[in-house]
Amino acid sequence: MVADERRDLLTAAEMLSAADRVAVLTGAGISAESGVPTFRGEGGFWRGRSAMELATPGAFASDPKDVWEFYRFRIAGLADVRPNDGHRALAALEPRYEKFWLVTQNVDGLHRAAGSRRVIELHGTLAETRCRSCAYRCASADLPADPVPLCPDCDDLLRPDVVWFGEQLPPEALEGADEAVRECQVMLVVGTSGVVEPAASFARWARSRGAGIIEVNLEATPISEVADVTLLGPAGAMLPKLLELCG
């Protein structure tokens, strides 16, 4: 371990050890080592189209078949992925704190699979499918095979229970994230490029309320500007080291 990395890890571990209330914000980077492609990395394309272009209500309205093919591909891909040491380290941190929030932008379910209990899914989950009109919902694993699956209750289109660009975030997830931002003493931000709102602003808001900010990422991001310490390296290696130093 190089001296700078050791110093930064010790600083971060001291911050976490001194806190009673900790919030974690994760993005696609924490699942990269499990084989789930990030959005803005090389794997963020499907048949030459960007994942972000397909994740919109407009794309679904104009071509639900194509959008469903993309999501079935993503849902099927999750069957083989497993949590990595980064997810597991975060699950191991949770019981140490009086209050702990794990706010994720990921829709892959890997935090729960790793044993995290209080997970706030800001962008929904691929595990569930819902009707775009009525209250019907089902597990994505139970979806009918039709290229464009329809609601058995009202015949409108079924859609994955994820948040698309331009859509509102689930109110209960927003409330949970808001509580985390207001109450945490330390916020640990892992594997997000920090460019999609509102999550991109959580660290800045928490900092303006006096929280310390720790970032884990392969590279500097806009969040680095407000972080007390940025641990540069893969989350699957950095988070277990951090956990170990927290004692």
Q: Should residue 34 be labelled a site residue for ligand OAD when binding is judged by CB under 6 A?
A: no
45 in Cβ contact with 51 (< 8 Å): yes
Euclidean distance between CA atoms 33 and 89, whole angstroms: 14
CB-based contact 152:68 (threshold 8 Å): no
Is the Cβ of residue 116 or residue 221 nearer to ligand OAD in the bound state? 221
Which one of 33, 63, 178, 183 is in contact with ligand OAD (CB under 6 A)? Answer: 33
Q: Give the Cβ contact number of residue 40 at 10 Å.
A: 16
Residue 234 binding ligand OAD, by CB under 6 A: yes
Closest CA to 198 of 220, 219, 178: 178
Among 14, 21, 40, 66, binds ligand OAD (CB under 6 A): 40
Q: Does residue 198 have a cis bond before it (omega within 30 degrees)? A: yes
Considering the rule CB under 6 A, would residue 219 count as an interface residue with ligand OAD? yes
Query: Which of 33-41, 64-72, 138-146, 149-157 is the region at the interface with ligand OAD (rule: CB under 6 A)?
Result: 33-41
Residues 6+ away with beta carbon under 8 Å from 246: 13, 16, 17, 93, 96
Q: Is 87 a catalytic residue?
A: no
26-34, 73-81, 94-102, 138-146 -> range binding ligand OAD (CB under 6 A): 26-34
String marking each residue 85-124 x if it binds ligand OAD according to CB under 6 A:
--------------------x-----------------x-
Identify which of residues 48 and 210 has a Cβ nearer to ligand OAD in the complex: 48
126 vs 58: CA distance, rounded Å: 19
**Burial per residue of 138-163, b for 16 or more beta-carbon CB atoms within 10 angstroms, e otherwise:** bebeebeeeeebebeeeeebbbbbbb
Question: 123, 130, 159, 241: which one is catalytic?
Answer: 123
Provide the binding-site residues for ligand OAD, judged by CB under 6 A. 27-29, 32-33, 38-41, 52, 55, 105, 123, 163, 165, 191-193, 196, 216-219, 221, 234-235
Residues classed as catalytic: 123
